[in-house]
Amino acid sequence: MNGILLFAHDNDVLNYGELTYNCALMCKFHLKLPIALVVDESTWDKLCESKTKANDLFHEIIIVSAPSDNCRKHSGTIAGVHPYFNLSRLSAYELSPFEKTLVLDSDVIVVNDYFGQDFNINGHIVIDNKIKNLDFQPNLDNINLFVGDNSIPLYWATRFMFDKSAESCNFFKLAQYVYEKYEHYSKIYGYKISPIRVDVIFSIAAHMNQGYIDTSEYRNAGSTIHPFTSSLLWAWDDNLLLNVDNNSVEFHVGYGDDNQIIKTGHNVHCMNKLNLLSHSKHIESVYG
């Protein structure tokens, strides 16, 4: 059985439970796949109190402790250093109840069924190391391309897929090892040790798994790592979400003479979570 795995751990400033709930609504509408939720008890209780349909929405609820010891610096209205509970994704392989699993960040806006095609990819681990902005142009900032300026490609754990195979199992074991040696690898690969990023962990694991070669240009049947076929566009912190409906999403981008409205029927990773949360009720009304 194929399925979607989502994660939700509230912190002191962001209601990840609500973000994930909305993401699940959109996934269920468009992808019609079972959705499993990895969540801590507190976040789940809070979600059940506010969303009466929460229990019915998810195929399976997997209660875990919120992974601790990680913080992230936020800017804007929630400026400051806050807990960052992202590390339970490293256990996705063990936690997922599905044969083939698509993991999505809870701030992914799903407005079509394109992700469904990715389940046909003949690869054990599916993850992207190149991303596109809302205007479909590749994002060429080194900070978004590489783990460190002179270092290896950055694979984005915003969206990844895996099957229940020995290759995938080994990949996650390698990722766990990299996590345990995160500080050591920071000296080799040139990244900051805080916050601990699953993107960086997966990037190092993918790079080692592929023999320390970037194989982006020539995947073959023997590669463990494959890119996605469907697109996921990136909306950055300063791209303002204007509207979500059942087949498109609209953003305001740019400043001054460069500002424009972009409406797209592609799925979007909305980095500005507070902005996304402000549309929560509307998303629920469209997809609920």
Binding site for other proteins (CB under 8 A): 142-143, 145, 149-153, 188-190, 207, 211-214, 216-217
Which C-beta is closer to other proteins: that of 151 or that of 224?
Answer: 151
Distances (CA, A) of 195 to 117, 146, 220: 33, 16, 34
Which C-beta is closer to other proteins: that of 101 or that of 129?
Answer: 129
DSSP bridge partners of 72: 82
* Shortest reach from residue 176's CB to other proteins, in Å: 20
**Of 196, 188, 91, the residue nearest 148 (C-alpha):** 188
* Shortest reach from residue 197's CB to other proteins, in Å: 17
Interacting residues of 74 by C-beta distance below 8 A, sequence separation 6+:
13, 80, 81, 82
- Classify residue 166 by its DSSP letter: H
* Shortest reach from residue 281's CB to other proteins, in Å: 41
* Shortest reach from residue 277's CB to other proteins, in Å: 33
Which C-beta is closer to other proteins: that of 197 or that of 207?
Answer: 207
* Shortest reach from residue 209's CB to other proteins, in Å: 13
Interacting residues of 251 by C-beta distance below 8 A, sequence separation 6+:
134, 235, 239, 240, 241, 242, 261, 262, 263, 264, 268
Interacting residues of 287 by C-beta distance below 8 A, sequence separation 6+:
22, 25, 26, 28, 29, 246
Separation CA 24–CA 274 (nearest Å): 18
* Shortest reach from residue 204's CB to other proteins, in Å: 9
- Classify residue 266 by its DSSP letter: S
Which C-beta is closer to other proteins: that of 65 or that of 216?
Answer: 216
Interacting residues of 49 by C-beta distance below 8 A, sequence separation 6+:
none
Give 146-162 as a DSSP string.
BSSTTSPBPPEEEEEEE
Which C-beta is closer to other proteins: that of 64 or that of 145?
Answer: 145
Cα atoms in the Cβ-side hemisphere of radius 13 Å centred on 180: 6
Which C-beta is closer to other proteins: that of 108 or that of 154?
Answer: 154
* Shortest reach from residue 146's CB to other proteins, in Å: 8
Which C-beta is closer to other proteins: that of 63 or that of 188?
Answer: 188
